[in-house]
Amino acid sequence: MRRIVCPERDDWRQTAAQCGFAFHTIDGERYWDERAYYAFSLDEIERGIEAPTGEIDAMCLELAARVIGDERHLRRLQIPEAFWDLIRASWQRDDRSLYGRLDLSFDGHGPAKLLEYNADTPTSIFEAAVFQWTWLEQAIERRIIPARADQFNSIHERLIVAWKEIAAGRHLHLTGTTGDEEDAGTLAYLEDTARQAGLTTTLLDIAEIGWRDEAGGFVDLDNSDIALAFKLYPWEWMFRDAFGAKLAGAPTRWIEPPWKAVLSNKGILPLLWEMFPNHPNLLPAFFEDDPRAAELGSSYVRKPLLSREGANVTLVSGGMPLDEQAGPYGAEGFVRQALAPLPNFSGFYPVIGSWLVNHEPCGLSIREDESPITGNGSRFLPHAIL
């Protein structure tokens, strides 16, 4: 694994505009950054990232089964009791998952370590699946990278196949906070792949979803029933919204399904460590109020049970907070995870995003920062297999 500085395409912004990639620059700062790329060997991809991703996903499914079947665990994750039946029902029905992204620490040498699982509302899939691939093709064409270069990336095709299986011809609604550029871009891309799978679609803002009292059910702006909905809006927020109380009584099937509320909770990190102790792809982790947390010593990472984009994550070394990201999370409690410093490539710290579509590892994205905590300002860099 190497970080290779390279020239950027002089017309990449126009290319981005042509394919609808509007959030490549955020608040004047680069989000998409192709002034360098990360190079991997095929072995690093296959044995270092792909295989562990599949194994971690399998472990997560075993864990989900255990948590959903045990009230103590559901309580430990601070999942409101009012939604336990909703979660259980979705698990028992085998409601399908479309996708997820594991965030891994990987330096090309030791085993990849799971930092967290973005199981519910992962973003950056458009730039991973499409714009990164476009970069590879054009970078080869323009001799920016070697002609033999490849990429671990079949996200696009797998999404189309997955939609066919999961939706099975049903009309698909897609919803989220459409005023947010990144979320809107993600929704637009997933809608595009759904249409390529032959589905009919309707896109609406999460706030536009209606509830019909008669017969009970969620409806769109035409008062048509929402039978199957992709939501880019976290379950923990839906649980707390006014319509949360109506979820259990509605026939709507959601993607990601309610059981993903378990796996998107950072409380799975200590539970995974408890269930699969010393697994090479896991880091020791404990709930903060667990006396065993002392085993981590004075160096660890403190993470809220519910957090996004690194918010409220604190890196503690030698008892001192080294780096802390501000944010609104933490009321539900914290976990402590062993400190696994991200690899340092010339002062840049990359996190590997390993994508799963329909439980199949199928692609890679990299976020890089000058800080050892990946946050909302971290840049997306492309990768290649050399």
Partner 1 sequence: MANKPANKEFGKRRPAPVPPTPGKPVKRSGHVALLVMGTIAVGTTAYTLMPRQHCEPAPGAVPGQTSTTCSGGSSSSGSGGSSRWSSRSSFFSSDSSSHSSSGNSSESGSGSVSRGGFGSFGHGFSGGS
91-110 positions binding partner 1, by CB under 8 A:
91-92, 94, 96
Residues 178-217 contacting partner 1, CB under 8 A: 178-189, 191-192, 195-214
Query: Binder to partner 1 among 292, 358, 369, 371 (CB under 8 A)?
Result: 358
- Choose one: 11-19, 139-147, 316-324, 336-344; the region binding partner 1 (CB under 8 A): 11-19
277 burial type by CB count under 10 A (0-12 exposed, 13-18 middle, 19+ buried): exposed
End-to-end CA distance of the chain, in Å?
A: 10
Q: Does 10 bind partner 1 (CB under 8 A)?
A: no
Residues 207-266 contacting partner 1, CB under 8 A: 207-214, 219, 221-223, 231-234, 237-238, 240-244, 246, 264
**Nearest by Cα to 53 from 357, 316, 373:** 357
Query: Binder to partner 1 among 36, 144, 145, 160 (CB under 8 A)?
Result: 160
Measure Cα distances from 382 to 6, 19, 32, 89, 157 in Å. Answer: 11, 17, 9, 39, 19
Cβ within 8 Å of residue 303, ≥6 positions away: 116, 266, 269, 312, 313, 334, 335, 336, 337
Q: How far is the CB of 323 from partner 1 (least distance, A)?
A: 14
Residues 35-74 contacting partner 1, CB under 8 A: 45, 50, 54, 57-58, 61-62, 64-66, 68-69, 71
Closest to partner 1 by CB, 108 vs 345, is: 108
Query: Binder to partner 1 among 2, 4, 11, 18 (CB under 8 A)?
Result: 18
Cβ within 8 Å of residue 151, ≥6 positions away: 132, 133, 136, 364, 382, 383, 384, 385
Closest to partner 1 by CB, 232 vs 381, is: 232
- Three-point CA angle 130, 133, 137, nearest 5°: 135
* Strand, helix or coil for residue 90: helix
Closest to partner 1 by CB, 64 vs 305, is: 64
Closest to partner 1 by CB, 10 vs 213, is: 213
Query: Binder to partner 1 among 1, 104, 112, 129 (CB under 8 A)?
Result: 129
Q: Which residue has the tokens 């409380």?
A: 267
Closest to partner 1 by CB, 338 vs 384, is: 384
Residues 291-310 contacting partner 1, CB under 8 A: 308-309
Q: Which amino acid is at 359?
A: H
Q: Does 88 bind partner 1 (CB under 8 A)?
A: yes
Q: Does 90 bind partner 1 (CB under 8 A)?
A: no
The rounded distance, in Å, linking the Cα atoms of 178 and 201 is 15
- Choose one: 333-341, 342-350, 356-364, 366-374; the region binding partner 1 (CB under 8 A): 356-364
Instruction: Count residues binding partner 1 (CB under 8 A).
Output: 116
Query: Binder to partner 1 among 2, 4, 7, 19 (CB under 8 A)?
Result: 19
The rounded distance, in Å, linking the Cα atoms of 155 and 99 is 10
Can you point out the beta strands (E) in 281-343? 285-287, 300-304, 314-317, 320-324, 334-338
Q: How far is the CB of 357 from partner 1 (least distance, A)?
A: 9
* Residue 36 CA neighbour count, 13 Å, CB half: 17
Q: How far is the CB of 273 from partner 1 (least distance, A)?
A: 18
Q: How far is the CB of 67 from partner 1 (least distance, A)?
A: 9
